[in-house]
Amino acid sequence: MTKHISDIDEVLTTTRAVRRHMDFDRLVEPEVIEECLRLAQQATMGSNQEDWQFVAVTEPTRKEAIAALYRDVWLETVEKPLKAQRPDTVARLDPGLRSDPAQQARQQRVLASVKYLVDRLQRVPVLVFACSAKPVPKTALGDRASGYYGSIFPIAWSFQLALRSRGLGSVMATAIVFHAEKLGEILQLPEGTHPITMIPVAYTDKLDFKPAYRRPLEEILRWEKWED
């Protein structure tokens, strides 16, 4: 097993969305997945209710079915809309609309990295699905929406941090729920349980990930109130 990264600041600043640097040929031990998820169970949750369900998929036929869904998601939400120049997709994803050459290059690398994983998802050793057994919120904002998503994403992120500390890479692939109903059938989820995100997991072919570029803090933080 890979040596643990014990420095919390290093884990927090170098847990990247890993796609290209996954080792598809190295087995990920079930006990490592279980250990990391057991640690992640300490994450915060709404109303102190553990309405989480996780499915870890390693069986090749099931992974192939999931990979086919993921390829279709890419086609329907990225490739076709960009080709058709749909304004919302272009504004969100087109590298050419980024503000400077460095950001354009970063966005181009991100798209290429996502496509790399789309084409190889079936080779990832373990596909972990974080699911919620709570009723889906009726509105995107307000009501129960914050608690619904605020209960599942902390445990998912804590799981990714634990993986990183043990030399494994992962990525939060939320787009897969574009086909939530079909995905639920493949995973044979109980009625009322909904997939929220997929987390592909593999050992990485390197450990020295670096902090990513982020905007200066003064651009995203205000004290007491926000004003121009």
| CATH code for the domain of 16 | 3.40.109.10
Least confident of 103-107, 117-121, 140-144, 147-151: 140-144
Distance CA 130, CA 77 (A): 21
Q: Calculate what percentage of the chain has a pLDDT beyond 90.
A: 64
Measured between alpha carbons, how far is residue 8 from residues 4, 15, 90, 162, 207 in Å? 11, 11, 37, 10, 15
Q: Given this model, what pLDDT does residue 150 score?
A: 79
Distance CA 196, CA 132 (A): 7
Measured between alpha carbons, how far is residue 166 from residues 72, 173, 185, 204 in Å? 32, 20, 32, 10
User: Is residue 98 a part of any domain in this protein?
Assistant: no
Q: What is the pTM of this model?
A: 0.91
116 in Cβ contact with 19 (< 8 Å): yes
User: Is residue 126 a part of any domain in this protein?
Assistant: yes
The boundaries of the domain holding residue 160 are: 8-59+122-219
Average pLDDT in the 32-41 region?
96
Distance CA 58, CA 118 (A): 17
At 178-220, the pLDDT tens digits run 999 999 999 999 999 999 999 999 999 988 899 988 889 999 9
User: Is residue 42 a part of any domain in this protein?
Assistant: yes
User: Is residue 204 a part of any domain in this protein?
Assistant: yes
Strand-strand pairing, 194-203 and 126-132: antiparallel
Distance CA 17, CA 50 (A): 26
Buried b (16+ CB within 10 A) or exposed e, 45-60: bbeeeebbbbbebbee
User: Is residue 48 a part of any domain in this protein?
Assistant: yes
